[in-house]
Structure 1
Amino acid sequence: MPAADSLTTAPDREELSARYSGLLDVLRGAAASADTAGELPEEVFAALRASGVLGAAVAEEYGGLGGDAVLTNRLIELVAAADPSMAIILFQHYAVSARIGEWGTDAQRARYLPLLAGGEWIAASAWSESGAGADKRNLATKATRVEGGWRLDGAKTFTTGAGLAQVYLVLAQSAEPSGKQSTYGSDGQTFFLVEAANPGLVADTGMDLVGMRASATGFVELHACEVEDSAVLGPLGEATSIIAGVRESGATLGAVSTGIAESAYRLALAHAERRGLAGQQAVRYRLVDLAARVEAARALVERAGRRDSAEPGITTLHSKLIASTTSEEVCQEALRLLGSAGFLRSHPLNKLAQDARAVGLMGPTNDLCRELVSARWTA
């Protein structure tokens, strides 16, 4: 696929919405049926690949848009307003693309970035696992030295895009931890780029989720999964430095939550107009309050993307906390405004409310965000 037009200066939401209107229409049209089926139809991925959106976080020299966190956050928000499940897949794709761009070797960039930018490949993160805790300090997935590379053994849970991705960013314990304290992860952990074609990697999308049902969130099992030394991303045993850099990048799950909140507000507004309630002062005021809360969350997400605060990493964590909490509250208030109409299982607001709750549980979870922010007070 040829390189898309550069978007190094991020257009505003309205321009992006117009530019990618075809993709957003496809997402909106498929969202309800995809949620019921628990998977996204192929036409969604065809539209995604054709749009050029997948290359937003990839440098232009590799066929991407060369965008920063402002652009990716805005795109994630727009996609989330159409289909939150697709937004989560896209967020993880951007995160891995950016990590390869930042920490990858020349060979890794040349191998993966053109494929990720052009839409031929989708990337996913495989960090979480049962019993490790949200802070990833007790990994059971081990990386053992073998001749010419490494053998990975373990199992990952809640991997978004499992079974869809062609490359996974896998976090594994490559050496015994020294006991050095870290709020997220521990020393002796390493990131590996593992391709889906590796016979030692098996993806299973069997999780029956309450929210984000079409996000292909599932398990990734690694059984004697052998990779070469060239699969190591970043410094050996220093994954925590890469993890810390993710927060500093300004990319935030708060963008997903803001898109959900915007969609919930729009549904409430449409209901009020359709039922002739917009003329009632009490209803108008409630709608104004919803709109104001969405704008406040969006402003913090924008600030995180700009990275213009004294502590960009803290702003990113704040944006996730505020936006995810706001989206849950906006969904609930919108449902109250709908009254009995919102009690129907099929109403899209109920799906949005479940999706909104899911974001708060995604890593770093909201409680871990609070821990990461408060850690500086006890250091």
Structure 2
Amino acid sequence: MPAVDLTAPTRLGVDELIDVLDKHAAAADEAGRPEPEVLAALRNSPLPGLIVPRRYGGAGAGSLEANRMIARIARHDPSTAIIAFQHLAVCSRIAEWGSDAQRAELLPKLASGAWLAASAWSESGAGAAKKNLATVADELPGGGWTVSGGKAFTTGAGVTDVYLVLAQTTPVTDDDGSAYGSAGQSFFLIPATNPGIEPDLSLDLVGMRASATGFVELKDCRLGPEALLGPRDAASTIIAGVRRSGATLGAVSVGIAEAAWDLGFQAAQRKSLLDLQAVRHRLVDLRGQVESARALVERAGRRDGDDPGEVTLHSKIHASQVAEEVVAAVARLLGSTGYVVTHPINRMARDARAVALMGPTNDLSRELVSLSWAA
């Protein structure tokens, strides 16, 4: 199989991708949907193949490099960073749990950007811990599956090419005790071209407005046996491995915090506020918060510590809190300038809050950490 050349001259570099993000991020946020130019630039950049193994056309990077790249992108456009993060997460699950045939079929497409991937785990009534799923996969007598149900808050709905769908494959009456996911759940890879899958982007978000986050309805999606990712009924094991990978949404928060600090520093320069010791010291303290979040996200990416999964959860909690605090402090520093609805600080505030609510939510992350102490 020929490898996809991520350095070919027809492809955009990361700096060129960032130029496109800077040009379109504000308009995309106002419109509440990603701009076609942004999606095209993302697909044509090295980012989609970042963590895909080299033998499938990717760069073969690890979670440390992925966290750094997501933070860099989020500094310019958090919505696109979230789409990219979810794509990389699905690539990682396929690389780790996919069959040889699944890897050979899907990873080159995902590495090249010809396909983008999205996770469809959440649904109304299942809670942040993804229990009590209403999405059901029934195994067919001759092999294969039918999947029906509905997913909510799916990032990349309608703009990606394959969905990693969490479904109930075996009815259970008693929970298996896991804090995230439940017994009898499995993952399925469903192409967006399947006639039974229908995205709905009517969800109007406050934050991450250009992330194409919406609903996905599954109506008797007929799948072959090859659509099952990993062992049947083992989704909770796969989910637990996500945390141990070190990839963290905290990277998005680091990018937001960095962008907010830049705004504050630039405003202080323009207003000659750096002559004031109190302002200089406040900016130093805020910078320290940004660097502490970055350090914890980096530690998660290196998978340091006795329990890398716990570090990953801490990094998400801490970085998202720091982003909200830094954005709020910079908004106060800006004064009336930041009170204009179109000022970038307001978009940053909405996006920073959104990260705390993304899975695993900060409250669920705290619960997962605290339960590990009792184990």
TM-score, normalising length: structure 1: 0.95
**Equivalent of residue 137 in structure 2, options 137, 143, 146:** 143
Q: Per-residue displacement from partner, 1:101-142 (whole Å, max 9, x unpaired)?
A: 000001100111000000000000000000000001110100
- For residue 88 of structure 2, what is the aligned residue in structure 1? 94
Please name the residue that 1:60 is paired with. 54
Residues 1:361 and 2:363 aligned together: no
- Measured in 2, the distance between the counterparts of 1:355 and 1:46 equals 22
Contact 1:178/1:187, CA 8 A, preserved across alignment: no
Q: Is contact 2:166-2:186 (8 Å) kept?
A: yes
Structure 1 portions without partners, runs of 5+: 6-18
Which residue is 1:294 aligned to? 290
Distance of 2:66 and 2:356 partners within structure 1: 20
CA distance in 2, matches of 1:223, 1:322: 39
CA contact (8 A) 2:168 2:184 kept: yes
Task: Give the superposition deviation at 1:170.
Answer: 0.1
CA contact (8 A) 1:203 1:219 kept: yes
Residue 134 in structure 1 maps to residue 94 in structure 2: no
Residue 162 of structure 1: aligned partner: 157
Rounded Cα–Cα distance in structure 1 between residues aligned with 2:152 and 2:327? 27
Q: Contact 1:141 / 1:172 at 8 angstroms: preserved in 2?
A: yes
Secondary structure at 1:263 match in 2: helix
**Any conservation in 1 of the 2:154–2:216 contact (CA below 8 Å)?**
yes
The corresponding residue for 2:39 is 45
Contact 2:80 2:210 in 1 (8 A): yes
Residue 82 of structure 2 contacts residue 211 of structure 2 at CA under 8 Å; is this kept in 1? yes
Q: Which amino acid aligns with 2:123?
A: E
Q: Tell me if structure 1 keeps the 8 A contact 2:14–2:46.
A: no
Alignment partner, residue 350 of structure 1: 346
4+ long deviations beyond 3 Å: none
1:291 is paired with a residue of what secondary structure?
helix
Pairing 1:259-338 to 2, within 5 Å after superposition: 259-338=255-334
Deviation at 1:3, TM superposition (A): 2.4
Distance 1:191 1:49 in 2: 25
Q: Distance in 1 between matches of 2:230 and 2:109?
A: 20
Report the counterpart of residue 12 of structure 1 in structure 2.
none
Q: Let me know the Cα RMSD of the aligned residues.
A: 1.2
Task: Letter of the 1:116 partner, please give it.
Answer: L
Query: Structure 1, residues 221-269: CA drift from partner, whole Å, max 9, x if none?
Result: 0011111110000010010000000000000000000000000000011
CA drift at 1:52: 1.4
The aligned counterpart of 2:179 is 183
Q: Equivalent of 1:376, from 350, 372, 375?
A: 372
- Asked if the contact 2:74/2:252 (under 8 Å) is kept, the reply is yes
Q: Determine which of 166, 173, 188 is the counterpart of 1:171.
A: 166
Shift of 1:148: 2.4
Separation in 1 of the partners of 2:261 and 2:164? 35
Once the two structures are superposed, residues 140-183 of structure 1 have per-residue CA deviations (whole angstroms, 9 ceiling, x without a partner) of: 10011113211111000000000011000000000012522111
Opposite residue 354 of structure 1, the aligned amino acid is R
Q: How many residues align?
A: 367
Take 2:95 and 2:362, find their aligned partners in 1: how far apart are those partners?
Answer: 27
Q: CA deviation at 1:49?
A: 2.2
TM-score (norm 2): 0.96
SS in 1 for 2:75: helix
